Structure 1
Amino acid sequence: MNALGQAGGDARQSARFLLLYALGWAGCSIAYVPFLTVLLPLRVTDMAGAGDVRVLGYLTFGGAIAASLANIAFGWLSDRTGYRRAWVAAGLAGNCALLLMVPLAQGAGQLLALLLVWQVMLNMMMGPLSAWAGDCVPDGQKGLLGGLMAFAPAAGAVTSAVVTIPGLAGPEGRLWIVATVVAVCVLPVLLFGRPRPFPELMRDDLRGPAEAADPAKPVKRMWAARLLVQVAEAALFAYLLYWFRSIDSAVTDAEVARIFGFVLAAAVPLALLSGRWADRAGRPIVPLAICAAIAALGLVTMALAQGMALALSGYVVFGLSSTVFLALHSSQTLRVLPRARHRGRDLGIFNLTNTVPSLFMPWLTIAVVPAFGYSGLMAILAVLAVIACLLLISTARTLSRKG
């Protein structure tokens, strides 16, 4: 039996479903990473010219709110209907169609309206798809699932690099490429996934940590820990180029893109190894706590860096640990949610940890960097990562007592 088939003792989901699900999840990342990081800003620049930063800010803010609400709503609707696949398929169709409509938007208002509806369609696909994993993947394979989900960010980054190859395609052609790749990735799990049923995962009762006196405590700690790490990750994602240039003004955007891509790719085998260890050892939260601690160490290194060598080392340490953390956290969250009938809705609430940081992170940066520099910002983010580590240690102890 291969490694995919061995995880989780006798209760194992098929390797085929796990691989197809990971491919589908990568498709979700491809659906938004190239669009939001490259194609949308280029469209805004063509449309708004000198006012592109302001227009893009409005679009980003509105899109984050729409994504937050839609993920909760469609997770809840998939709970109520008891069928995830139809929602994912409808979201896939709507997402691809709206991507192709972007060139038709003639002004900022039309582009904002299209972006809001696109976010709704994207989260119609992602919300039920994330809950589907909770319905089908037993606890003994959730670490492996998290490791496989680490392919998604790398897939999004690679697609962004490919569609922007000079001469490959024009603005409309790039959108067609993205929409096609998304469909190719997501459709197989919808058509051929056929997961083995696990009735115990669908029981509407309190399991594991939920048997504690306060079953919400592990859920709250997991939510808060992810939010804290996501704040740090979002800050570095948005201001990484500016930070590198504050240390060495000769750094180019292409160099930063290569560094970012290397970190995402290198994190994949680390996430797989960490997830497999968590499954075999029965210690699902320990890798998360370790990753948060290492992320804090990387941020401290970045705060102290005066030259590019130390700065780059610190970022690689932070980037690897935070990417592994986010991938494994996405799957292990399914372990602490107490009620199957609210799984989609609750995962939508967890998704706020992905969208909320983009709403207030710019204000944190504006408040800190002018007064204390990027070193002060990195120090604050390191403290947040340490708090996340402590929350996860507490969660691990709770799970161990109730295991």
Structure 2
Amino acid sequence: MTAEAGHRGRQRTRFLLLYALAVAGGSIAYAPLLTLLLPGRIMDLASDAGVSWIAYLTFAGAICASIANIAFGWASDLTGGRRGYIWAGLVLSGGLLVAMPYATGFMQLLILICCWQIALNMMLGPLFAWAGDCVPDRQKGLLGGLLSVAPALGALSGAIVTFSGFAAVLDGFGARLIAVALMVAGCVMPVLLFGRPKHIAALEPHAVRGARSAVPPQRKQIVVRMWLARLLVQICEAALFAYALLWFASIDPSLDERGTAQVLSAVLIVAVPLALFTGRWIDRRDRPILPLAVCALVAAAGLALMALAQSPAQAIASYVLFGVPAAAFLSLHTSQTLRVLPDPARRGRDMGVFNLTNSGPSLVMPWLVLTLVPLFGFSGLLALLAMLCGAAALLLATAPRVAPAPYAPVQVAPEQA
């Protein structure tokens, strides 16, 4: 059997499901903390300086996350193993998360957030690269659909830890973070213990002949366009990720952290079937770029309507129009990125470079918010974000079709037990 045929082989469904659950654990690790729990904690500690604290902590954390994701992804390439880094990152990030309540000043929070981001990306960098080692192109659409469960569970975990019914059990900031750490461990550990992916030799680095020299200019153009498009969408996502609570409150003060968490959860849950359906369509039609362009265009329309929202109903409806396609875009984009990476021997490093589109916007977004919101309000910010999302749609809509990578004829190894 040729490598191309092996590349078209299928990975075990069990591994795909457990892997998606592990990625969801990564979302649970940061979504409740950065969206709800940490902003609430900062507002208690800093009061009027809360917005500035969030901006500076987000900026510093994003720098640490960017460097750590590339470094540990590249290290897992060089050592030829992913699991050890994932285990270490899981343990360290969980411990630092539980220690967060002991930070009561700005510098203490800054140090803890930076260390936590480094530990978390020790886990996430190799985890994302692991999919490239195991999942063939014909299942990457399905993988992207399954990955849409990750942000949904991340938001759902935020709704759980802020739900009033759990107040007696999860009393206070520290108890909620312990619950988050336990949920993360429960999601990540199963794939490490029971995943047992089938070995597909055509996905091994040596299966690609002259990977660097064989990449045509057209394919390089796709890589650049996909990177830029994700960066633009992530700037929009990052702005609302950090400031959704404040934006909803500016429309209606009764929309508190619990109400915001419920809206975020509902949007991301609705995005799951959309991403699954679209991912299966991508696998059948082998058209990975077109659905991404459509999702970005609809998300841009949602942002434009958010800029015009005047009532709670309008705010929630327009956020749904943005959030559902944006969530589907990001999960599908993650899996399709693995199709276009130029060097299979450096999947961890290259996924870390693509991860700059996740963490990089956090370096830009705080200054956009601090510059635009005082002058034009959230409406001016949202109008700019709508234009950025529209530009992402244009980049992808005009991109050439993805060509398959060149594979050398090698034999497919037998399945691993």
User: Do both share a fold (TM > 0.5)?
Assistant: yes
In the TM superposition, 1:123-142 aligns within 5 A as 123-142=121-140
Aligned residue type for 1:187: M
For residues 143-182 of structure 1, the aligned pairs below 5 Å read 143-164=141-162, 165-170=166-171, 171-182=173-184
Which structure 2 segments of 5+ residues have no match? 1-5, 407-417
Aligned position for 1:34: 32
Which stretch shows the higher mean deviation, 368-377 or 162-171? 368-377
Secondary structure of the structure 2 residue equivalent to 1:182 = helix
2:396 maps to which of 387, 392, 395: 392
Q: Structure 1 pair 375/351, CA: closer, same or farther in 2 (3 Å)?
A: same
Tell me the secondary structure at the aligned position of residue 345 of structure 2: helix
**Displacement of 1:314:** 2.2
CA, structure 1 residues 339+63, in 2 after alignment: closer, same or farther (shift >3 Å)? Answer: same
Report the equivalent of 2:194.
192
Q: CA deviation at 1:135?
A: 0.7
Q: 1:78: how far off?
A: 0.5
1:163: how far off?
2.1
* TM superposition shift of 1:148: 0.6
Aligned length: 395
CA separation in 2, counterparts of 1:223 and 1:77?
Answer: 22
Q: 1:183 aligned to 2:185?
A: yes
Alignment of 1:235-384 (within 5 A): 235-248=239-252, 251-384=255-388
Which is bigger in relative contact order (C-alpha 8 A, separation at least 6)? 2
- Is residue 285–residue 392 contact of structure 1 (8 Å, CA) maintained in 2? yes
Identify which of 96, 99, 115 aligns with 1:98.
Answer: 96
Given that 1:210 and 1:216 are in contact with CA atoms closer than 8 Å, whether structure 2 keeps it comes out as no
Quote the offset at 1:52 in angstroms: 4.5
For 2:103 and 2:292, the matched residues in 1 are separated by 43
Shift in Å, 1:26: 0.7
**Could you state the TM-score of these two structures normalised by the residue count of structure 2?**
0.86
**Deviation at residue 205 of structure 1 after TM alignment:** 3.9
Name the SS of the counterpart of 1:399 in structure 2.
Answer: coil
**2:228 paired residue number:** 224
SS of alignment partner, residue 360 of structure 2: helix
**AA at the equivalent of 1:172:** G
Instruction: Give me the whole-angstrom Cα distance separating, in 2, the residues matched to 1:10 and 1:91.
Output: 32
Change (3 A) 1:202 1:273: same
Cα-to-partner distance string for 1:329-361 (whole Å, 9 max, x where unaligned) = 111111110111111111111111111112221
Q: 1:345 to 1:37 in 2, by over 3 A?
A: same
Q: Is the 8 A contact 1:209 1:218 kept in 2?
A: no
Cα distance, 1:190–1:27 mapped onto 2, change above 3 Å: same
Structure 2: how far apart are the matches of 1:370 and 1:104? 32
User: C-alpha offsets along residues 84-137 of structure 1, whole Å, 9 cap, x if unaligned?
Assistant: 111111111111122222344464333322222211110000000000001100
Offset of 1:237 from its aligned partner? 2.6
How many Å separate the matches in 1 of 2:115 and 2:338? Answer: 28
**Residues 51/262 of structure 1: CA separation in 2 closer, same or farther (3 Å cut):** same
C-alpha distance in 1, partners of 2:380/2:56?
27
SS at match of 1:398: coil
Percent sequence identity over aligned pairs? 55
**1:33-80 Cα shifts (integer Å, max 9, x gaps):** 222233334544565566554444432221111111100100110010
Query: Which segment drifts farther, 332-341 or 29-38?
Result: 29-38
The alpha-carbon deviation at position 264 of structure 1 amounts to: 0.9
User: Are the counterparts in 2 of residues 26 and 153 from structure 1 also a CA contact under 8 Å?
Assistant: yes
For 1:67 and 1:386, how far apart are their aligned partners in 2? 27
Q: 1:400 to 1:209 in 2, by over 3 A?
A: farther
Taking a change above 3 Å as real, the CA distance of residues 179 and 370 of structure 1, as seen in their structure-2 partners, is closer
Contact 2:159–2:265 (Cα < 8 Å) also in 1: no
Deviation at 1:297, TM superposition (A): 1.8
Match among 80, 83, 86 for residue 82 of structure 1: 80
Letter in 2 for 1:337: L
Letter in 2 for 1:169: L
CA spacing shift, 1:208–1:17, aligned 2, 3 Å: farther
Q: Which moved more, 1:269-278 or 1:372-381?
A: 372-381
Shift in Å at residue 300 of structure 1? 2.5
